[in-house]
Amino acid sequence: MNDNNNISVQVVRYEGLNRVKLKERNEYGYESLIKAVNQVLDKLNLENRTLAEITPKLRKEQRLWNAIALREAVINAFVHNDYTRETAPKFEIFDDRLEITSHGGLPESLLKEDFFDGYTIPRNKELMRIFKDLDLVEQLGSGIPRILEAYPEESFRFSENFLRITLPSTVSESNAMQDTMQDAMQDTMQVTSQVEELLKVFTGTHSRGELQEKLGLLNRDNFRKTYLQPAIEAGLVALTIPDKPTSGRQKYYLTEKGKVLIKQ
């Protein structure tokens, strides 16, 4: 929990389906694990894009990975990781999947059947207590059943020293980009001048106040109704904490579709 420690957490992205070509490396750590958890969750929420498929009858939207399962998998990796060798969980993004690896196999005497049924033997009891006090976990044993509602047991891989969960992406990276470009081209003529102004001020992830300041707007309601909400509804801007839209830590970022639209 100390803000000065030797634990570093990495979120990396590879180009393709293997670990040959590293595309991006983000390092969080050497600080309190609570900060690292929130940073990893924010980063993966950014990566967990909303993809749209246009059909003759309706528009289907889905995220790369199930948001609830993703959060549970991240929290479990931190809480149940074996830190005795100063090894942190690792998060790896490929074109077709996300892999989350924690150090340490199943706790002694815990069988795979028990694991999938929601039984738990906390490896780090004090860490679990702190996470529970901070409402990062709701109750013991609820995480794995929630993940299994979205992904099969085969998503988990066990070894003597590691536990890995693989969350397959709903579509591949290349297909997602192609669909995003086609979608953006269809919506180009429907974007209002206010939404276009908003998209142009994005340089990364911003709070509502920062965006208003960049636009020179003082009226919060006008900004929300005329600029921000239409951009979100059009799939051009997304929330870093989509499950808690009114969170005080809420920030906003351009979706892939928003980025393509600005380039056009």
Contact assessment for residue 199 and residue 188, using Cβ atoms and an 8 Å cutoff: no
Number of Cβ within a 10 Å radius of residue 162: 16
Tens-digit pLDDT profile for residues 151-165:
999 999 999 899 999
Q: What pLDDT is recorded for position 252?
A: 92
Helix-, strand-, coil-residue percentages of the chain, each rounded to 5: 40, 20, 40
SS3 98: strand
Tens-digit pLDDT profile for residues 134-144:
888 766 667 88
All residues at 6 or more sequence positions from 56 whose CB lies less than 8 Å from its CB, including other chains: none
Residues pairing with 101 in the sheet: 90, 164
For the cut 60, the answer to whether the pLDDT of residue 178 exceeds it is no
Tens-digit pLDDT profile for residues 65-89:
999 999 999 999 999 899 988 889 9
Contact assessment for residue 144 and residue 118, using Cβ atoms and an 8 Å cutoff: yes
Q: How confident is the model at residue 256 (pLDDT cuts 50, 70, 90)?
A: confident
Q: What is the chain's Cα-based Rg?
A: 20
Contact assessment for residue 240 and residue 205, using Cβ atoms and an 8 Å cutoff: yes
Q: Regarding predicted confidence, which is higher, 253 or 140?
A: 253
Q: How confident is the model at residue 29 (pLDDT cuts 50, 70, 90)?
A: confident
For the cut 70, the answer to whether the pLDDT of residue 103 exceeds it is yes
Mean pLDDT of 212-234: 93
Indicate the pairing of strand 8-14 with strand 90-93.
parallel
Distance CA 234, CA 236 (A): 5
CA 111: distance to chain centroid?
Answer: 29
Residues pairing with 90 in the sheet: 10, 101
Look-up: residue for tokens 């028990």?
A: 114
State the span(s) of the chain assigned CATH 3.30.565.60.
Answer: 8-168
Q: What pLDDT is recorded for position 248?
A: 84
Q: Which of 8-12, 67-71, 106-110 has the lowest mean pLDDT?
A: 106-110
Burial category of 114 from C-beta neighbours within 10 Å (exposed 0-12, middle 13-18, buried 19 and up): middle
Tens-digit pLDDT profile for residues 86-102:
889 999 999 999 999 99
Mean pLDDT of 121-134: 86
The domain 173-263 is placed in CATH, from the list 1.10.10.10, 3.30.565.10, 3.40.50.880, 3.40.50.300, at 1.10.10.10
Q: What pLDDT is recorded for position 234?
A: 86
State the span(s) of the chain assigned CATH 1.10.10.10.
Answer: 173-263
Nearest to 243, CA basis, from 52, 98, 118, 69: 69
What token pair was written down for 16?
């393709």
Q: Supply the DSSP symbol for 224.
A: I
Q: Regarding predicted confidence, which is higher, 56 or 40?
A: 40
Nearest to 137, CA basis, from 72, 208, 228: 72
Q: Does domain 8-168 have CATH number 3.20.20.80?
A: no
Contact assessment for residue 73 and residue 130, using Cβ atoms and an 8 Å cutoff: no
Q: What pLDDT is recorded for position 62?
A: 78
Would you state the torsion angle of the CA atoms of residues 205, 206, 211, 213, taken in this order, to the nearest 10 degrees?
-130
Q: How confident is the model at residue 244 (pLDDT cuts 50, 70, 90)?
A: confident
Q: What pLDDT is recorded for position 7?
A: 85
Residues pairing with 10 in the sheet: 27, 90
